[in-house]
Amino acid sequence: MSVLDLARPEIRTLQPYSSARMEAAGGQIMLNANESAWEPMGDAGAGCNRYPDPQPEALLQPMASLYGVEREQLFVGRGSDEAIDLLVRAFCRAGQDAIIIQPPTFGMYAVSARIQNAAVIEVPLASDFSLDVQALLAAVTPAVKLVFICTPNNPSGRSIPRADIVQIAQALTGKALLVVDEAYVEFSDEGSVADLIGRYDNLAVLRTLSKAWALAGARIGSLLANAEVIALIRRIMPPYPLPSPCIAAAVAELSPSGQATARENIAIVREQRETMRAALCRLSGVREVLPSDANFLAVRFDDAGTIYQRLLQAAIVVRDIRRYPQLQDALRITIGTPEENARVLTVLNETGT
Protein backbone atom coordinates (compact mmCIF):
# COMPACT_ATOMS: atom_id res chain seq x y z
CA MET A 1 0.00 0.00 0.00
CA SER A 2 1.25 3.48 -0.88
CA VAL A 3 0.75 6.40 1.49
CA LEU A 4 -1.00 8.07 -1.46
CA ASP A 5 -3.86 5.59 -1.09
CA LEU A 6 -4.83 7.75 1.90
CA ALA A 7 -5.19 10.86 -0.27
CA ARG A 8 -8.36 12.00 -2.00
CA PRO A 9 -8.70 9.99 -5.26
CA GLU A 10 -9.71 13.07 -7.27
CA ILE A 11 -6.56 14.89 -6.13
CA ARG A 12 -4.38 11.97 -7.17
CA THR A 13 -5.81 12.07 -10.67
CA LEU A 14 -6.10 15.87 -10.92
CA GLN A 15 -4.46 17.52 -13.92
CA PRO A 16 -2.40 20.22 -12.16
CA TYR A 17 -2.10 23.77 -13.42
CA SER A 18 1.01 24.17 -15.50
CA SER A 19 2.42 27.64 -14.91
CA ALA A 20 4.44 29.50 -17.50
CA ARG A 21 7.48 29.53 -15.22
CA MET A 22 7.30 25.76 -14.77
CA GLU A 23 7.20 25.21 -18.51
CA ALA A 24 10.14 27.45 -19.38
CA ALA A 25 12.53 29.74 -17.50
CA GLY A 26 15.87 31.39 -18.05
CA GLY A 27 15.36 32.81 -21.57
CA GLN A 28 16.76 36.22 -22.50
CA ILE A 29 13.46 37.49 -23.80
CA MET A 30 10.57 36.23 -21.68
CA LEU A 31 7.24 36.57 -23.48
CA ASN A 32 5.37 33.53 -22.16
CA ALA A 33 3.65 34.78 -18.96
CA ASN A 34 1.94 38.05 -19.88
CA GLU A 35 4.18 39.92 -17.43
CA SER A 36 5.29 43.53 -17.74
CA ALA A 37 8.63 43.98 -19.48
CA TRP A 38 9.43 46.89 -17.11
CA GLU A 39 10.55 46.73 -13.50
CA PRO A 40 8.23 48.42 -10.98
CA MET A 41 9.11 51.50 -8.96
CA GLY A 42 11.76 50.78 -6.30
CA ASP A 43 12.44 47.28 -7.59
CA ALA A 44 16.24 47.65 -7.34
CA GLY A 45 16.83 44.53 -9.42
CA ALA A 46 14.47 42.33 -7.40
CA GLY A 47 12.70 41.34 -10.61
CA CYS A 48 9.19 41.78 -9.26
CA ASN A 49 7.85 42.30 -12.79
CA ARG A 50 8.47 38.55 -13.32
CA TYR A 51 6.63 35.64 -11.78
CA PRO A 52 8.92 33.82 -9.34
CA ASP A 53 10.02 30.21 -9.66
CA PRO A 54 7.30 28.23 -7.79
CA GLN A 55 9.88 26.19 -5.85
CA PRO A 56 13.18 28.03 -6.42
CA GLU A 57 16.33 25.96 -6.38
CA ALA A 58 18.21 28.82 -4.66
CA LEU A 59 15.92 28.38 -1.65
CA LEU A 60 15.22 24.64 -1.81
CA GLN A 61 18.89 23.77 -1.71
CA PRO A 62 19.79 25.59 1.58
CA MET A 63 16.51 24.59 3.20
CA ALA A 64 16.95 20.92 2.31
CA SER A 65 20.43 20.99 3.74
CA LEU A 66 19.24 22.88 6.87
CA TYR A 67 16.58 20.23 7.52
CA GLY A 68 18.67 17.25 6.39
CA VAL A 69 16.29 16.07 3.66
CA GLU A 70 16.39 15.69 -0.14
CA ARG A 71 14.87 18.46 -2.25
CA GLU A 72 12.20 15.99 -3.40
CA GLN A 73 11.18 15.59 0.25
CA LEU A 74 10.59 19.33 0.70
CA PHE A 75 7.74 21.68 -0.20
CA VAL A 76 8.18 25.36 0.59
CA GLY A 77 5.08 27.52 0.87
CA ARG A 78 3.59 30.63 2.47
CA GLY A 79 4.22 29.68 6.06
CA SER A 80 3.50 26.29 7.52
CA ASP A 81 -0.12 27.51 7.62
CA GLU A 82 -0.27 26.92 3.87
CA ALA A 83 1.20 23.43 4.19
CA ILE A 84 -1.41 22.56 6.86
CA ASP A 85 -4.18 23.76 4.55
CA LEU A 86 -2.83 21.89 1.51
CA LEU A 87 -2.45 18.66 3.53
CA VAL A 88 -6.04 18.84 4.72
CA ARG A 89 -7.30 19.55 1.22
CA ALA A 90 -5.24 16.73 -0.31
CA PHE A 91 -6.15 14.06 2.24
CA CYS A 92 -9.60 14.84 3.66
CA ARG A 93 -12.80 14.36 1.67
CA ALA A 94 -15.39 16.96 2.66
CA GLY A 95 -18.12 15.56 4.85
CA GLN A 96 -16.41 12.16 5.15
CA ASP A 97 -12.88 12.30 6.55
CA ALA A 98 -11.40 13.54 9.81
CA ILE A 99 -8.27 14.81 11.53
CA ILE A 100 -7.11 14.25 15.12
CA ILE A 101 -5.74 17.05 17.29
CA GLN A 102 -4.79 17.27 20.97
CA PRO A 103 -6.15 20.42 22.65
CA PRO A 104 -4.91 22.76 23.89
CA THR A 105 -2.95 23.17 20.68
CA PHE A 106 -2.34 25.43 17.68
CA GLY A 107 -5.66 26.52 16.19
CA MET A 108 -5.07 26.25 12.46
CA TYR A 109 -5.32 22.44 12.23
CA ALA A 110 -8.97 22.59 13.27
CA VAL A 111 -9.70 25.74 11.26
CA SER A 112 -8.26 24.24 8.05
CA ALA A 113 -10.22 21.04 8.65
CA ARG A 114 -13.47 22.93 9.22
CA ILE A 115 -12.97 25.01 6.07
CA GLN A 116 -12.67 21.69 4.23
CA ASN A 117 -15.70 20.30 6.12
CA ALA A 118 -13.58 17.53 7.62
CA ALA A 119 -14.40 16.37 11.15
CA VAL A 120 -12.10 17.30 14.04
CA ILE A 121 -11.58 14.59 16.65
CA GLU A 122 -10.11 15.91 19.89
CA VAL A 123 -7.90 13.81 22.15
CA PRO A 124 -7.06 16.22 24.99
CA LEU A 125 -3.54 16.40 26.36
CA ALA A 126 -3.13 15.09 29.92
CA SER A 127 -3.18 17.55 32.85
CA ASP A 128 0.64 17.84 32.63
CA PHE A 129 0.28 18.50 28.86
CA SER A 130 1.85 15.16 27.95
CA LEU A 131 0.36 13.10 25.14
CA ASP A 132 -1.80 10.07 25.94
CA VAL A 133 -0.55 7.80 23.14
CA GLN A 134 -3.01 4.99 23.84
CA ALA A 135 -5.98 7.37 23.88
CA LEU A 136 -4.80 8.90 20.61
CA LEU A 137 -4.46 5.52 18.91
CA ALA A 138 -7.82 4.41 20.26
CA ALA A 139 -9.44 7.47 18.61
CA VAL A 140 -8.23 6.52 15.12
CA THR A 141 -11.11 5.42 12.89
CA PRO A 142 -11.04 4.65 9.14
CA ALA A 143 -12.22 8.25 8.57
CA VAL A 144 -9.07 9.70 10.16
CA LYS A 145 -6.61 10.71 7.46
CA LEU A 146 -4.35 13.15 9.34
CA VAL A 147 -3.09 13.16 12.94
CA PHE A 148 -1.50 16.46 13.95
CA ILE A 149 1.03 16.57 16.79
CA CYS A 150 2.57 19.88 17.79
CA THR A 151 5.99 19.63 19.48
CA PRO A 152 6.97 21.76 21.31
CA ASN A 153 3.27 22.39 21.69
CA ASN A 154 1.74 25.83 21.27
CA PRO A 155 0.48 27.13 23.73
CA SER A 156 1.73 24.81 26.51
CA GLY A 157 5.42 24.73 25.46
CA ARG A 158 5.94 21.07 26.27
CA SER A 159 7.62 18.67 23.80
CA ILE A 160 6.37 15.22 22.83
CA PRO A 161 9.14 12.62 23.22
CA ARG A 162 10.59 11.14 20.05
CA ALA A 163 9.73 7.63 21.27
CA ASP A 164 6.01 8.55 21.32
CA ILE A 165 6.22 9.87 17.78
CA VAL A 166 7.93 6.70 16.57
CA GLN A 167 5.27 4.57 18.24
CA ILE A 168 2.45 6.60 16.69
CA ALA A 169 4.03 6.68 13.20
CA GLN A 170 4.42 2.91 13.35
CA ALA A 171 0.87 2.33 14.55
CA LEU A 172 -0.59 4.63 11.88
CA THR A 173 1.28 3.01 8.97
CA GLY A 174 -1.22 2.36 6.19
CA LYS A 175 -3.94 4.14 8.18
CA ALA A 176 -3.19 7.86 8.46
CA LEU A 177 -0.52 10.48 7.88
CA LEU A 178 1.17 11.69 11.07
CA VAL A 179 1.95 15.41 10.77
CA VAL A 180 4.46 16.63 13.36
CA ASP A 181 4.50 20.41 13.64
CA GLU A 182 7.97 21.50 14.73
CA ALA A 183 7.47 25.27 14.47
CA TYR A 184 9.44 25.80 17.71
CA VAL A 185 11.88 22.88 17.59
CA GLU A 186 14.94 25.12 17.26
CA PHE A 187 14.37 26.29 20.85
CA SER A 188 14.14 22.75 22.21
CA ASP A 189 16.61 20.07 23.29
CA GLU A 190 14.42 17.33 21.81
CA GLY A 191 15.54 17.73 18.20
CA SER A 192 13.64 17.13 14.99
CA VAL A 193 12.11 13.86 13.83
CA ALA A 194 12.72 14.79 10.17
CA ASP A 195 15.39 12.08 9.99
CA LEU A 196 12.59 9.48 10.33
CA ILE A 197 10.87 10.50 7.09
CA GLY A 198 12.83 7.92 5.10
CA ARG A 199 11.72 5.22 7.53
CA TYR A 200 7.99 6.06 7.73
CA ASP A 201 6.26 7.06 4.50
CA ASN A 202 3.27 8.25 6.59
CA LEU A 203 5.34 10.79 8.57
CA ALA A 204 5.34 14.47 7.61
CA VAL A 205 7.08 17.31 9.44
CA LEU A 206 6.18 21.01 9.38
CA ARG A 207 8.97 23.56 9.80
CA THR A 208 8.92 27.34 9.56
CA LEU A 209 11.25 30.30 9.18
CA SER A 210 8.74 32.43 11.16
CA LYS A 211 10.10 31.78 14.64
CA ALA A 212 13.79 31.02 15.18
CA TRP A 213 14.66 32.36 11.73
CA ALA A 214 13.08 35.79 12.28
CA LEU A 215 11.07 35.76 9.05
CA ALA A 216 7.43 35.76 10.16
CA GLY A 217 6.75 38.64 7.76
CA ALA A 218 8.19 36.79 4.77
CA ARG A 219 5.80 33.81 5.25
CA ILE A 220 8.14 30.90 4.50
CA GLY A 221 7.22 27.48 5.86
CA SER A 222 7.98 23.95 4.82
CA LEU A 223 6.57 20.49 4.65
CA LEU A 224 9.09 17.65 4.85
CA ALA A 225 7.75 14.26 3.82
CA ASN A 226 8.03 11.25 1.59
CA ALA A 227 8.71 12.35 -2.03
CA GLU A 228 5.32 11.02 -3.17
CA VAL A 229 3.48 13.15 -0.62
CA ILE A 230 5.50 16.21 -1.61
CA ALA A 231 4.80 15.61 -5.30
CA LEU A 232 1.08 15.41 -4.47
CA ILE A 233 1.19 18.69 -2.53
CA ARG A 234 3.02 20.39 -5.38
CA ARG A 235 0.20 19.35 -7.71
CA ILE A 236 -2.25 21.49 -5.74
CA MET A 237 -0.04 24.37 -4.64
CA PRO A 238 -0.93 27.83 -5.95
CA PRO A 239 0.87 28.65 -9.23
CA TYR A 240 3.45 30.95 -7.57
CA PRO A 241 3.33 30.52 -3.78
CA LEU A 242 6.53 32.39 -2.91
CA PRO A 243 6.96 36.15 -3.60
CA SER A 244 10.38 37.11 -4.98
CA PRO A 245 11.32 39.51 -2.10
CA CYS A 246 10.47 36.75 0.39
CA ILE A 247 12.64 34.23 -1.44
CA ALA A 248 15.52 36.74 -1.34
CA ALA A 249 15.00 37.39 2.38
CA ALA A 250 15.04 33.66 3.15
CA VAL A 251 18.13 33.00 1.04
CA ALA A 252 19.94 35.80 2.93
CA GLU A 253 18.84 34.46 6.32
CA LEU A 254 20.09 30.98 5.42
CA SER A 255 23.51 32.25 4.35
CA PRO A 256 26.35 31.31 6.72
CA SER A 257 26.30 34.73 8.42
CA GLY A 258 22.49 34.76 8.58
CA GLN A 259 22.50 31.34 10.22
CA ALA A 260 25.20 32.39 12.68
CA THR A 261 23.15 35.40 13.80
CA ALA A 262 19.98 33.33 14.08
CA ARG A 263 21.77 30.77 16.25
CA GLU A 264 23.05 33.54 18.53
CA ASN A 265 19.49 34.82 18.92
CA ILE A 266 18.16 31.32 19.62
CA ALA A 267 20.75 31.00 22.42
CA ILE A 268 19.60 34.35 23.86
CA VAL A 269 15.95 33.24 23.77
CA ARG A 270 16.77 29.96 25.51
CA GLU A 271 18.76 31.73 28.22
CA GLN A 272 16.11 34.45 28.65
CA ARG A 273 13.35 31.84 28.83
CA GLU A 274 14.93 30.35 31.95
CA THR A 275 15.70 33.78 33.46
CA MET A 276 12.09 34.89 32.89
CA ARG A 277 10.69 31.62 34.19
CA ALA A 278 12.63 31.92 37.44
CA ALA A 279 11.69 35.60 37.86
CA LEU A 280 8.00 35.02 37.10
CA CYS A 281 7.85 32.09 39.53
CA ARG A 282 8.93 34.49 42.31
CA LEU A 283 5.99 36.89 41.74
CA SER A 284 3.20 36.48 44.25
CA GLY A 285 0.25 36.60 41.82
CA VAL A 286 1.78 33.94 39.60
CA ARG A 287 0.34 30.47 40.21
CA GLU A 288 2.57 28.55 37.82
CA VAL A 289 4.93 29.01 34.90
CA LEU A 290 4.70 25.98 32.65
CA PRO A 291 8.05 24.51 31.61
CA SER A 292 8.64 25.44 27.97
CA ASP A 293 10.84 24.18 25.15
CA ALA A 294 9.65 26.99 22.89
CA ASN A 295 10.17 30.78 22.64
CA PHE A 296 7.27 31.56 24.97
CA LEU A 297 6.03 30.83 28.46
CA ALA A 298 2.47 29.94 29.45
CA VAL A 299 1.94 31.62 32.82
CA ARG A 300 -0.96 31.00 35.21
CA PHE A 301 -2.03 34.06 37.22
CA ASP A 302 -4.44 34.56 40.12
CA ASP A 303 -6.12 37.19 37.94
CA ALA A 304 -4.97 36.81 34.34
CA GLY A 305 -7.57 39.26 33.01
CA THR A 306 -6.31 42.15 35.14
CA ILE A 307 -2.68 41.33 34.33
CA TYR A 308 -3.48 41.32 30.62
CA GLN A 309 -5.03 44.78 30.90
CA ARG A 310 -2.19 46.20 33.03
CA LEU A 311 0.38 44.99 30.50
CA LEU A 312 -1.70 46.47 27.69
CA GLN A 313 -1.82 49.83 29.50
CA ALA A 314 1.97 49.69 29.56
CA ALA A 315 1.93 49.02 25.79
CA ILE A 316 2.95 45.39 26.23
CA VAL A 317 0.85 42.92 24.26
CA VAL A 318 0.83 39.29 25.34
CA ARG A 319 -1.53 36.52 24.27
CA ASP A 320 -4.66 35.84 26.29
CA ILE A 321 -4.98 32.04 26.16
CA ARG A 322 -7.77 31.66 28.73
CA ARG A 323 -10.08 30.28 26.01
CA TYR A 324 -7.96 27.13 25.75
CA PRO A 325 -8.90 24.05 27.81
CA GLN A 326 -6.73 23.62 30.93
CA LEU A 327 -5.41 27.17 30.55
CA GLN A 328 -8.35 29.25 31.77
CA ASP A 329 -6.06 31.28 34.06
CA ALA A 330 -3.11 31.70 31.69
CA LEU A 331 -1.41 34.22 29.45
CA ARG A 332 1.24 33.30 26.88
CA ILE A 333 4.27 35.57 26.93
CA THR A 334 6.72 35.46 24.02
CA ILE A 335 10.39 35.82 24.95
CA GLY A 336 11.58 39.17 23.58
CA THR A 337 14.89 40.97 23.85
CA PRO A 338 16.43 41.07 27.33
CA GLU A 339 15.27 44.71 27.57
CA GLU A 340 11.70 43.85 26.60
CA ASN A 341 11.61 40.97 29.07
CA ALA A 342 12.95 43.19 31.86
CA ARG A 343 10.20 45.71 31.09
CA VAL A 344 7.55 42.98 31.45
CA LEU A 345 8.94 42.08 34.87
CA THR A 346 9.03 45.75 35.92
CA VAL A 347 5.37 46.25 34.99
CA LEU A 348 4.33 43.03 36.74
CA ASN A 349 6.24 44.10 39.86
CA GLU A 350 4.61 47.56 39.78
CA THR A 351 1.23 45.85 39.41
CA GLY A 352 1.91 44.16 42.73
CA THR A 353 1.73 40.74 41.18
How wide is the angle at C-alpha 159 spanned by C-alphas 190 and 66, nearest 5°? 45
With b for 16 or more beta-carbon neighbours within 10 A and e for fewer, the 132-144 pattern comes to ebeebbebbeeeb
**Selected range binding ligand PLP among 76-84, 231-239, 261-269, 271-279, rule: CB under 6 A:** 76-84
DSSP H helical ranges for the chain: 9-12, 20-23, 57-67, 79-91, 108-115, 133-138, 162-172, 227-236, 244-253, 256-281, 304-313, 338-350
- Tell the smallest beta-carbon distance from residue 152 to ligand PLP (Å): 8
Alpha-carbon gap, residue 320 to 239, rounded angstroms:
37
208 binds ligand PLP, rule: CB under 6 A: yes
148 binds ligand PLP, rule: CB under 6 A: no
- x/- site string to ligand PLP, residues 220 to 249, per CB under 6 A? -x----------------------------
Residue nearest to ligand PLP (CB): 79
317 binds ligand PLP, rule: CB under 6 A: no
- x/- site string to ligand PLP, residues 89 to 128, per CB under 6 A? -----------------x----------------------
- How far apart, in Å, are the Cα atoms of 266 and each of 76, 197, 341? 22, 25, 15
Cis peptide bond prior to 325, omega within 30° of 0: no
80 binds ligand PLP, rule: CB under 6 A: yes
What SS3 state is found at 143?
coil
- Taking the least distance from each CB to ligand PLP, the nearer of 51 and 148 is 148
**How many residues bind to ligand PLP according to rule CB under 6 A?**
12
81 binds ligand PLP, rule: CB under 6 A: yes
- Tell the smallest beta-carbon distance from residue 110 to ligand PLP (Å): 12
- Taking the least distance from each CB to ligand PLP, the nearer of 135 and 216 is 216
- Taking the least distance from each CB to ligand PLP, the nearer of 310 and 322 is 322
Alpha-carbon gap, residue 73 to 232, rounded angstroms:
11
- x/- site string to ligand PLP, residues 150 to 169, per CB under 6 A? x---x---------------
- Taking the least distance from each CB to ligand PLP, the nearer of 150 and 172 is 150
Contact 176, 186 (CB under 8 A): no
Residue 69 region, left (φ>0) first, then alpha (ψ -120 to 50), else beta?
beta
**Selected range binding ligand PLP among 65-73, 75-83, 164-172, 268-276, rule: CB under 6 A:** 75-83
Alpha-carbon gap, residue 224 to 196, rounded angstroms:
10
Contact 8, 93 (CB under 8 A): yes
**Selected range binding ligand PLP among 50-58, 77-85, 264-272, 309-317, rule: CB under 6 A:** 77-85
Alpha-carbon gap, residue 296 to 220, rounded angstroms:
20
Q: Which residues pair with 147 in a beta bridge?
A: 100, 178
* Helix axes of 227-236 and 79-91: crossing angle, nearest 10 degrees: 100
Binding site for ligand PLP (CB under 6 A): 79-81, 106, 150, 154, 181, 183, 208, 210, 216, 221
